[in-house]
Amino acid sequence: MTKIVVYRPEACSPPRGRNSVLKIDDYPWRVSFNPGDNSVPDEDAERLAEHPDFKRYEAHGGLTIKDAPEESSPSDSSTAPENLSQLNTDEAEGLIGKTDNVGLLQKWLAAETRKTTRADLERRINALTEA
């Protein structure tokens, strides 16, 4: 089974550059996280949660551990919401992470006003277009 480690560099204290990679070089292993969703094995997620710095990152929203989504991608724009304004930021983040349709993501980005959700959309678009 896998977990998703969400790294948000702009939410760290102090904020990091939008594309900065978080490297943890100690206790008990070395790991790097790219901005956005990072898929990791359950045992690595457990080790990360035990890391002395994790609580500080988590408190600011820089790192979050969540279960991997099981739902399918809302790739058909006829079944997806028109925009994300009716969702809170956590719900929007979850939907963005499941969406593989770049056109739909760009449509949401054009209508989005929240800074965090715009950053999530930009990261997801970049991840899909660079892959």
* Domain ranges within the chain, ordered by starting residue: 2-67, 89-130
Closest CA to 112 of 103, 121, 104: 121
Per-residue confidence band for 82, with pLDDT thresholds at 50, 70 and 90: confident
Type of residue numbered 116: T
- pLDDT 10s digits, 32-75: 888 988 888 888 889 889 888 899 999 999 999 998 866 555 55
pLDDT score recorded for residue 32? 84
Cβ atoms of 97 and 74 within 8 Å: the answer is no
CA dist 25 → 40, 48, 73, 84, 86 (Å): 16, 12, 34, 37, 40
Q: Is the pLDDT reported for residue 25 higher than 90? A: no
Residue 106's SS3 state is helix
d(CA 103, CA 90) in angstroms, rounded, equals 21
The dihedral sign for the CA sequence 31, 36, 38, 43: positive
How much is the pTM? 0.55
Per-residue confidence band for 114, with pLDDT thresholds at 50, 70 and 90: very high
Q: Is the pLDDT reported for residue 78 higher than 90? A: no
